[in-house]
Structure 1
Amino acid sequence: MRKKLLTGVALALVLSAGMAQAAPSAAVTAAVADKGRPEADTKRDADRKPAAMLEFAGVKPGDTVVDFIPGGGYFTRIFAKTVGPKGHVYAMGNPPPPNATAPPPIAAVAADPQYGNITIVSIAGGDFKLDKPADIFWTAQNFHDLYARQRNIDVPKVVKAIYDNLKPGGVFVVLDHQGAPGAPIDPDDKLHRIDGAAVRKQVEAAGFKFEAESNVLRNPADDHTKMVFDPSIRGHTDQFIYKFRKPR
């Protein structure tokens, strides 16, 4: 009898752990499995766990999603396929510098015929206004860059603009490399990290309510002292992912 009881308790714990992160929806699963994604992207999936990330964010068909500072478009492509033809994706980043000799990589993604629902939006100094409010703002491994001295960005202004361009009840999801707990923000951005507590303080100050955290990309073996591009930790840094909601 005791053995059966213990077995039942153990099973309940396993089930509870499994329910902590819902299984990806059919739309998300299909977007990640899309054969049109570049091989360079799919090779990163084991480390970035995109299906779990989109499910945590709550991305679904018909949504308007803003990929804030999209880089090469890793998540932009997946968002575009998940939201489908009735949804829309804004790829939002800084305008190219005056001396740029080539368009940013995201331009090629937006121009690809299979992604007809992507619009590139440039921001300057934190001022931007979408033509329709978004369901989700998303930024991955880039929030720390906003504080870099050379960017000269008014971070509170940017976060407030994100708040203002979200629908009531919309969410802002921040994924980034964890810095040492309590470490001050480094304007020289030497490690490309930020303490999650500093992010929460900044985002909540704009009016957002913290809703949830995913531990899917956490790595307790990362001691937060190495630059994220160090070969010993690259691709396996300790990363937090926070979901904030704009009150209705």
Structure 2
Amino acid sequence: MNKPTPLLCACLLGVSALLSSAAVEARDSAAASAQVQVPASLQAAVDASTRTPANVARDVYRHPAQTLAFFGLQPGQTVVEITPGGGWYSEILAPYLRDGGKYVAAVVDPAALPAGGGRDYQQRSRDGLAKKFSESPALFDKAVEVAYDPAAPVLGAPNSADLVLTFRNVHNWRSSGQAEGMFGAFFAVLKPGGTLGVVEHRAKADVPAEDKSGYVGQAQVIAMAEAAGFKLDASSEVNANPRDTKDHPNGVWTLPPSNNHAAADAGKYTAIGESDRMTLRFVKP
């Protein structure tokens, strides 16, 4: 048998080192996720009986206690959540921040959009969230709403927020050409030293801006945040899902909770669960 050449040995050693480095990185990331300490007060907010049962059912996929603890949520902070939708995280954040902090729901201003389906959708979303808040004043009476123009977003007074949170929104901003402006608005509203927490559907690799799958490359999200001035502080695999093959006929909306698939495939997609997601923590220097 021929002996390997020095060049081949060097290449093999290089590959081995890269694989070893990747394994160490994966191990360390998983360990960091496992080591997230959830304060008792935050766990109590997640476990509250006032949460909607259908929302609680998604905790197994969304890991709210660990995710919010990873982002450094504290009860005395001013926290801006971007487009809360139906208020899934609002049910946790608003009561948690009610006495010592401030919860700000940043919603798209329908009046800033041209007449049509987009405006109607945002109006329904805004009205639904307002109804949710008004029906439970004991939880939401101190919640604040900020309506922003997605073409020129302003999320509050400059340097006023401790934490900005966005859950599964980046793909929409990329496809509409608004990502740069949104990340710039996050940077503007945060105090120096403030944190941006991002959860997003994770693609296998970079995807074009016009991609309609709902997935985004993790490196692409990091690049957008860094271009706005942020520094990546840490990443977590707490919302990872290795069962997600990311090749579904209707993108992330094939999976729960959207379940945009044939009835015959329900078992298949239920077994996969919700999408594989990146969880990134950035800091404003």
Shift of 1:17: 3.5
Shift of 1:70: 0.7
Stretches of structure 1 that go unaligned for 5 or more consecutive residues are 1-12
Aligned residues: 228
Shift of 1:19: 7.7
1:148 aligns with 2:175: yes
Alignment of 1:195-206 (within 5 A): 195-206=217-228
Mark the CA change 1:136 to 1:18 in structure 2 (over 3 Å): closer, same or farther: closer
**TM-score with structure 1 length normalisation?**
0.84
RMSD of aligned Cα (Å): 2.3
Q: Secondary structure at 1:89's aligned position in 2?
A: strand
Which of 135, 141, 149 does residue 116 from structure 1 map onto? 141
Contact in 1 for aligned 2:146/2:155 (Cα 8 Å): no
Mark the CA change 1:21 to 1:108 in structure 2 (over 3 Å): closer, same or farther: farther
Moved more, 192-201 or 228-237: 228-237
Which of 212, 234, 237 does residue 190 from structure 1 map onto? 212
Give the Cα separation in 2 of the matches to 1:126 and 1:24: 36
Q: Secondary structure at 1:156's aligned position in 2?
A: helix
Equivalence for 1:104: 127
Q: What is the one-letter code of the residue matched to 2:148?
A: I
Equivalence for 1:79: 93
Identity of aligned residues (%): 31
Stretches of structure 2 that go unaligned for 5 or more consecutive residues are 1-26, 256-268
Mark the CA change 1:154 to 1:228 in structure 2 (over 3 Å): closer, same or farther: closer
Which of 182, 187, 200 does residue 158 from structure 1 map onto? 182
Deviations 1:112-152 (A, max 9, x none): 30212211111101331514711100001111111223xxx
Give the Cα separation in 2 of the matches to 1:235 and 1:118: 31
Contact in 1 for aligned 2:170/2:179 (Cα 8 Å): no
Contact in 1 for aligned 2:32/2:236 (Cα 8 Å): no
**TM-score with structure 2 length normalisation?**
0.74
Which of 154, 159, 168 does residue 128 from structure 1 map onto? 154
Q: Which one has the largest radius of gyration? A: 2
Contact in 1 for aligned 2:148/2:155 (Cα 8 Å): no
Give the Cα separation in 2 of the matches to 1:19 and 1:206: 26
Moved over 4 A (4+): none
Q: What is the one-letter code of the residue matched to 1:70?
A: P
1:225 aligns with 2:252: no
- Higher helix content, 1 or 2: 2
Alignment of 1:15-94 (within 5 A): 17=31, 20-94=34-108
Deviations 1:199-226 (A, max 9, x none): 1001101110000011011122322222
Deviations 1:9-57 (A, max 9, x none): xxxx9xx937853221012111101111111111111111110111001
